[in-house]
Amino acid sequence: MKLSKLRLISGAVLLACACMAQAEIRLSDPLPLAPEVTVGKLPNGLTYYIKKNERPAQKVELRLVVKAGSILEDEDQQGLAHFTEHMAFNGSTHFKRNELISYLQSIGVKFGADLNAYTSFDETVYVLPIPTTNKENLEKGFLVLEDWAHGLKFNPADINSERGIILEEARLGKGANDRMNKLLYPKLLNGSRYAERMPIGKESILKTFKPATIKRFYNDWYRPDLMAVMVVGDVDPKQAEAMIRQHFGKLTNPPKPRPRLYAEVPQRSQTEALVITDKEAPDDTVFIRYPIRPAPEAVTIADYRRQMIENLYGQMLSARMQELTQQANPPFIQGGSSMGKLVRGYESFSAYALLGKGGVQPAIDALVQEDERARRYGFTQDELDRARKNMLRNYERAYSERDKSDSAGFVAEYSRNFLEQEAIPGIANELMYAQELLPQVTLQEINETVARVIPDQQKKLVVFMGATPKPGDKASTVPTQQQLLDAVAQAEQKKVEPRAEKAFASKLMDGPPAGGSIVSETLNSAIGVTELKLGNGVRVLLKPTDFKNDQVLMGSTRFGGQSLFGDADIYNARYASAVIGSMGLKDLAPLDLQKVLAGKTVNVGASLGELSEGFGGSSSSADVESMLQMVNLYFTHLRKDAGLYQSFIGKQQDLAKNIMLQPEAVFYDAIQHATFGDGPRVEGVPRAADFDKVSLERAFDVFQQRFSSARDMTFVFTGSFDVDKIKPLIASYLGTLPVTDLPHAYRDLGLRPVAGVVKKDVRAGSEPKSTISITFNGGVAYTDEQKLTLQALGEVLNLKVIEVLREKMSMIYGGGFETTMGQHPYGHYSVALTLPTAPENVDKVIAAAFAEINKMKADGPTAADLDKVKLNWITRHQKSMQENNYWMNQLVGSVTQGRDPAQILQFEQRVNAITPQALKLAAQRYLDMNNYVQVVLYPEAKKLSGSKVSPVKVR
User: According to the model, what pLDDT value does residue 500 have?
Assistant: 85
Three-state SS string over 158-221 comes to HHHHHHHHHHHHHHHCCCHHHHHHHHHHHHHCCCCHHHHCCCCCCHHHHHHCCHHHHHHHHHHH
Three-state SS string over 772-808 comes to EEEEEEEECCCCHHHHHHHHHHHHHHHHHHHHHHHHH
pLDDT, one tens digit per residue, over 847-861 is 999 999 999 999 999
User: According to the model, what pLDDT value does residue 950 have?
Assistant: 61
Distances (CA, A) of 833 to 100, 836, 913, 931: 26, 10, 26, 14
The pTM assigned to this predicted structure is 0.94
pLDDT, one tens digit per residue, over 413-455 is 999 999 999 999 999 999 999 999 999 999 999 999 999 999 9
Q: Are 253 and 225 in contact (CB under 8 A)?
A: yes
| pLDDT classification of 501: cutoffs 50, 70, 90 | confident
User: According to the model, what pLDDT value does residue 948 have?
Assistant: 45
Classified as helix, coil or strand, 727 is helix
User: According to the model, what pLDDT value does residue 894 have?
Assistant: 96
Of the ranges 128-142, 391-405, 471-485, which one carries the lowest mean pLDDT score? 471-485
Distances (CA, A) of 45 to 126, 143, 226, 248, 903: 19, 19, 8, 10, 52
pLDDT, one tens digit per residue, over 662-706 is 999 999 999 999 999 998 999 999 999 999 999 999 999 999 999
User: According to the model, what pLDDT value does residue 12 have?
Assistant: 36
Inform me whether the pLDDT recorded for 476 exceeds 70: no
Q: What is the mean pLDDT of residues 352-377?
A: 96
Q: Residue 935 — φ and ψ, nearest 5°?
A: -125, 130
Classified as helix, coil or strand, 566 is coil
User: According to the model, what pLDDT value does residue 7 have?
Assistant: 31
Burial of 843 (0-12, 13-18, 19+ CB in 10 A): exposed
Percent of the chain with pLDDT over 70: 96
User: According to the model, what pLDDT value does residue 1 have?
Assistant: 34
User: According to the model, what pLDDT value does residue 13 have?
Assistant: 38
Three-state SS string over 623-661 comes to HHHHHHHHHHHHHHCECCCHHHHHHHHHHHHHHHCCHHH
Q: What is the mean pLDDT of residues 472-484?
A: 81
| pLDDT classification of 2: cutoffs 50, 70, 90 | very low
Length of the chain: 955
Alpha carbon distance 555, 433 (integer Å): 36
Inform me whether the pLDDT recorded for 21 exceeds 50: no
Helix axes 381-400, 301-324, angle to 10 degrees: 120
pLDDT, one tens digit per residue, over 251-289 is 999 999 999 999 999 998 899 999 999 999 999 999 999
User: According to the model, what pLDDT value does residue 471 have?
Assistant: 73
Residue 777's beta-bridge partner residues? 830
Alpha carbon distance 369, 328 (integer Å): 19
Helix (H) or strand (E) holding 418: helix 407-420
User: According to the model, what pLDDT value does residue 135 have?
Assistant: 87
Alpha carbon distance 851, 857 (integer Å): 10
User: According to the model, what pLDDT value does residue 181 have?
Assistant: 95
Q: How many CB atoms lie within 10 A of CB 623?
A: 21
pLDDT, one tens digit per residue, over 857-874 is 999 999 999 999 999 999
| pLDDT classification of 946: cutoffs 50, 70, 90 | very low
Alpha carbon distance 468, 953 (integer Å): 8
User: According to the model, what pLDDT value does residue 744 have?
Assistant: 86
Q: Are 585 and 632 in contact (CB under 8 A)?
A: no
The overall average pLDDT reported for the chain is 94
Q: What is the mean pLDDT of residues 376-394?
A: 96
User: According to the model, what pLDDT value does residue 944 have?
Assistant: 44
Q: What is the mean pLDDT of residues 382-391?
A: 96
Residues with Cβ within 8 Å of 178's Cβ and at least 6 positions away in sequence, in order, are none
For residue 291, whether the previous peptide bond is cis, meaning omega lies within 30 degrees of 0, is: no
Helix (H) or strand (E) holding 420: helix 407-420
In a 13 Å sphere around the CA of 195, the CA atoms on its Cβ side amount to 16
Say which amino acid occupies 885.
N
> Of 12-21, 34-43, 91-100, which has the strongest mean pLDDT?
34-43
pLDDT, one tens digit per residue, over 145-160 is 999 999 999 999 999 9
Inform me whether the pLDDT recorded for 17 exceeds 60: no
Q: What is the mean pLDDT of residues 815-819?
A: 98
The C-alpha angle 157, 163, 169, rounded to 5 degrees, equals: 150
Q: Are 584 and 497 in contact (CB under 8 A)?
A: no
Q: Are 602 and 617 in contact (CB under 8 A)?
A: yes
Of the ranges 11-15, 83-87, 276-280, 474-478, which one carries the lowest mean pLDDT score? 11-15
pLDDT, one tens digit per residue, over 521-568 is 999 999 999 999 999 999 999 999 999 999 999 999 999 999 999 999
Per-residue b/e over 98-112, b at no fewer than 16 CB within 10 Å?
A: bebbbebbebbbbbe
Domains in the chain (CATH in brackets) are 31-248 (3.30.830.10), 272-493 (3.30.830.10), 518-641+698-733 (3.30.830.10), 757-938 (3.30.830.10)
Cα-Cα-Cα-Cα torsion 475, 480, 486, 490, nearest 10 degrees, comes to: 30
Residue 341's beta-bridge partner residues? 347
User: According to the model, what pLDDT value does residue 943 have?
Assistant: 58
User: According to the model, what pLDDT value does residue 15 have?
Assistant: 35
Residue 192's beta-bridge partner residues? none
Alpha carbon distance 242, 529 (integer Å): 44
Q: What is the mean pLDDT of residues 736-752?
A: 95
pLDDT, one tens digit per residue, over 307-362 is 999 999 999 999 999 999 999 999 999 999 999 999 999 999 999 999 999 999 99
Inform me whether the pLDDT recorded for 400 exceeds 80: yes
| pLDDT classification of 112: cutoffs 50, 70, 90 | confident
